[in-house]
Structures are given as C-alpha cells and as structure tokens.
Structure 1
Amino acid sequence: MRDIDTRIEAARDRLASAEKALAKAESRSRANTPGGLENYDSAILSGIRRKPNPKADARRFNAYAAEAQLSQVVVDERSTLERLERQKASEEADAASRSRLDLSEIRPGHAVRDKYGWHRVVKVNAKSVAVETGYSWTDRIAKDQIIEARALTDAP
C-alpha cells in the first residue's frame, strides 16, 4: 500500500474515533444541563439556583468545554482527510498524464510543466531538460519530473 493510502486510512480512523468521542461528550453535556436542551425552561437553563452548587456548575461547564473541543477536533480531522484525498487525486492525475507523455517529442521552445508550473525549454538532454528562469542561468528538470509538455505557438 502506498504512503498516501496509509495516511488516508489513519485519518479515517482518527475521524471515526473523534466522532465517537464527540457523541459521548454531547450526551454528557445533555445529561449535565439542567432542564435538558430540548423543550427547556429558560429560567432553569440559565443556571440560576436557589442554593449555589459550584461542583455542579463546574461539571456542566467542563462538559460544554469538552464538547466544544471535540467538535473542533472533528472539524480538523475532516479537513485533514479532505486534503489527503485531494492530494491523492492530484498525484493520480499527474501519474496518468506522465504515462501518456512522449518525452521524445520535446524540443527547445516547447513548454513543460513540473510541480512548480510551466517552463520554456532551452535545451533537451537524455535525462533532463534545461528551462528558462528569467535570470542569466537555466534550471534543470529531470524527465521523470515532467508532468506535461506542449508545443508553444507564437501568436502574431
């Protein structure tokens, strides 16, 4: 299995455990809310009591804080999983375009794309191409790092 696949599976496992912990925290916060969260009396939910109970208040506020913290963990894990899935799709698309690429047709003046963007080819070697940089030197890109190549047409 590839590294990205193992990372995706690990992210899915972390998300599932975070969602399970969030469900427990939600039930704890409901249990610690006087009057409940549905069909409640606003005077009861406000926390006003005839006799102060700091332990019960602390327990209730800690339950709310734990729920809020776990909901943020779930949001973070979902975004991590989405990012990894986008990265996998991008890598697969790049690999598919590399497999269709015919490197023997690259000539000076063509454009090649690597992971950093498009570059104009200056010189073609057996294992790499030299590309313009905008400065007085050229950069070398290995042929296995080229994702896409196109012939440039100069518009009049």
Structure 2
Amino acid sequence: MNMTTTDEMRAKLAYSRDRLKAAQHAKEQAERLSASAHEMGGGIPGFGGSGNQRAAGQVRGAHDRAYRAHQEADERIQKWSHRVRSLERRIAEAERVHFTRDDLTGAEFIHDGISWRQVRKINAKTVSVETGYSWVDRVPFEKIRSVRPEVKR
C-alpha cells in the first residue's frame, strides 16, 4: 500500500476512535438513566389508586427509555470497536516489512507469525522449512514476519 492509503486509514482510525468514545459516553448516560428510573420506582407503594398507576406508567416509561439507550449504546460500541480493531490490523499489515527472495538469501531461520522455523530451501515464492518430520512445510513470503541471518560458526 502506498503512503496515501495508510494516511487515509489513520484518519479513519482517528475518526473511529472518536466515535467509539462518543458511544462509550452514551453508555454512561444510559447508566444514569437506569439509575434515575430505579430511584423513581422506589417510591411507589402499589397500583391501587389512579395516581399510583400514573406514576407506575412514568416509571415504566423511564425504564423503557433507559433500556433503549443501553441497546443503542451497546450496538454503537460494538460497531466502532470492530472498526477500530479492523483498521489497526490493516495499518499494521500495510506498514510491516514485506520480504523478497533477496532479503531471505542467507537466512537460517524465519518467523512465520507462529514460531521460528529453520530454512531448508528458498524457492521462487515460498521458503521450505524443517518440520521435525520426514516432510518440509512451505511458507509463502507474505507470511514471513522476521528473519534471522545465517550464524557464523
């Protein structure tokens, strides 16, 4: 990826982080609505008279508003958290070092994102690595995260 694309992703990441903060703030407000509705409902002795029924309706309305606010805030938090994680992964992938065959010449070990593997042969687009068994695995250049050069003995 070119630098402009990375810059665009960084701008989107900053925007997404701001939206996530706003969603978290909305969740805090929903918590306050819930606390207010709970306090409001604490003073109702029963549903005998018309005044109590009206008050009960107000309490139910307050709980409903709090519930909807919680749902909306949770959805927004989930959406923006996912976007932030996705953009962070995409930026990391765009900025990581991409190895070529020339970079791998003379390498004794490569890291494939999981573990260090001993190089057996460098092919055109892959590296054959030892497995500890009778076969070798092939790791594409795109999957290589780090290289250890040959150790002089």
TM-score range normalised by the length of the shorter chain: 0.5 to 0.7
TM, length-normalised to structure 1: 0.58
Q: Report the counterpart of residue 115 of structure 1 in structure 2.
A: 113
Q: Structure 2: which 5+ residue stretches go unaligned? A: 46-50
Alpha-carbon separation, structure 2, partners of 1:86 and 1:154: 38
SS, match of residue 79 in structure 2: helix
Task: Give the direction of change, closer, same or farther, for the CA distance of 1:154–1:67 in structure 2 (3 Å limit).
Answer: farther
Alpha-carbon separation, structure 2, partners of 1:114 and 1:103: 13
Q: How far 1:131 sits from its partner (Å)?
A: 0.5
The one of 72, 75, 88 equivalent to 1:73 is 75
Alpha-carbon separation, structure 1, partners of 2:86 and 2:124: 34
Please list the CA deviations of residues 115-153 of structure 1 after superposition, one character each: whole Å capped at 9, or x if unmatched: 333211112223322101233211112334433211254
SS, match of residue 65 in structure 1: helix
Does residue 12 of the first structure (1) align with residue 16 of the second (2)? yes
CA RMSD of aligned residues (A): 4.3
Q: Report the counterpart of residue 148 of structure 2 in structure 1.
A: 150
Q: Structure 1: which 5+ residue stretches go unaligned? A: none
Higher helix share: 2
| Relative contact order higher in (CA < 8 Å, ≥ 6 apart) | 2
**Identity over aligned pairs, percent:** 22
SS, match of residue 70 in structure 1: helix
Alpha-carbon separation, structure 2, partners of 1:147 and 1:72: 36
Alpha-carbon separation, structure 2, partners of 1:58 and 1:137: 68
SS, match of residue 52 in structure 1: helix
| Number of equivalent positions | 135
